[in-house]
């Protein structure tokens, strides 16, 4: 699992190499071509656009700096799933077969005190096709499927991990 910091270093390297040219914070094409004439972020050692620099200054003044997890460059590349094309039961079977072992690993990591939860969630979104929302504590993964959504809940029970899945039809 790549930490947020490692991801940031990757973006910084690409920024310095000139291959990542949008603003890492807002994701817009607002960076001036000469990298170091843009603003140095207050949250991380990376250049952001002037608008974001001002925005960070304002938020810092209000003592509400926000989180790196909300930056554009930290948003996951979500693999597509065809769950909207298949029926809910079929989708549920596919999720349990293909993703449950991974979800259990994510669940276990989330219980450890020193786990970077933002990074863990980001990795899960990039790994699990069709995963739309993931809550780690309590653990609940939500998938959009045709006609509704599927919820997968995990919790510790009798020394093991209990799995509960529900199909919630659209109202």
Q: Does 149 bind Zn ion (CB under 5 A)?
A: no
9-28 residues in contact with Zn ion (CB under 5 A) are: 23, 25-26
146 vs 133: CA distance, rounded Å: 16
Q: Which is nearer to Zn ion, 21 or 133 (CB)?
A: 21
92 vs 69: CA distance, rounded Å: 29
CB 73 within 8 A of CB 49: no
Q: Minimum distance from CB of 11 to Zn ion (Å)?
A: 13
Give the residue, chosen from 39, 49, 91, 94, that forms a contact with Zn ion under the rule CB under 5 A.
Answer: 49
Q: Minimum distance from CB of 46 to Zn ion (Å)?
A: 11
Q: Does 59 bind Zn ion (CB under 5 A)?
A: no
CB 94 within 8 A of CB 148: no
> How far are the Cα atoms of 130, 150, 153 from residue 96, in angstroms, in the given order?
13, 11, 11
The residues binding Zn ion (CB under 5 A) are: 23, 25-26, 49, 52
């Amino acid at each position: 699992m790549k930490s947020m910091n490692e991801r940031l270093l990757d973006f910084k390297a690409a920024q310095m190499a000139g291959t990542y040219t949008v603003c890492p914070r807002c994701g817009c094409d607002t960076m001036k071509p000469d990298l170091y004439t843009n603003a140095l972020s207050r949250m991380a050692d990376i250049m952001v656009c002037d608008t974001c620099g001002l925005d960070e200054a304002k938020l810092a003044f209000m003592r509400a700096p926000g989180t790196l997890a909300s930056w554009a460059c930290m948003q996951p590349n979500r693999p597509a799933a065809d769950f909207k094309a298949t029926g809910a039961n079929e989708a549920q079977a596919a999720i349990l077969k293909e993703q449950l072992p991974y979800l259990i690993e994510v669940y276990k990591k989330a219980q450890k005190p020193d786990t970077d939860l933002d990074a863990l969630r980001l990795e899960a979104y990039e790994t699990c096709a069709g995963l739309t929302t993931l809550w780690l504590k309590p653990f609940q993964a939500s998938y959009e499927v045709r006609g509704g959504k599927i919820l997968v809940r995990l919790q510790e029970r009798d020394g093991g991990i209990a799995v509960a899945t529900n199909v919630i039809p659209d109202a």
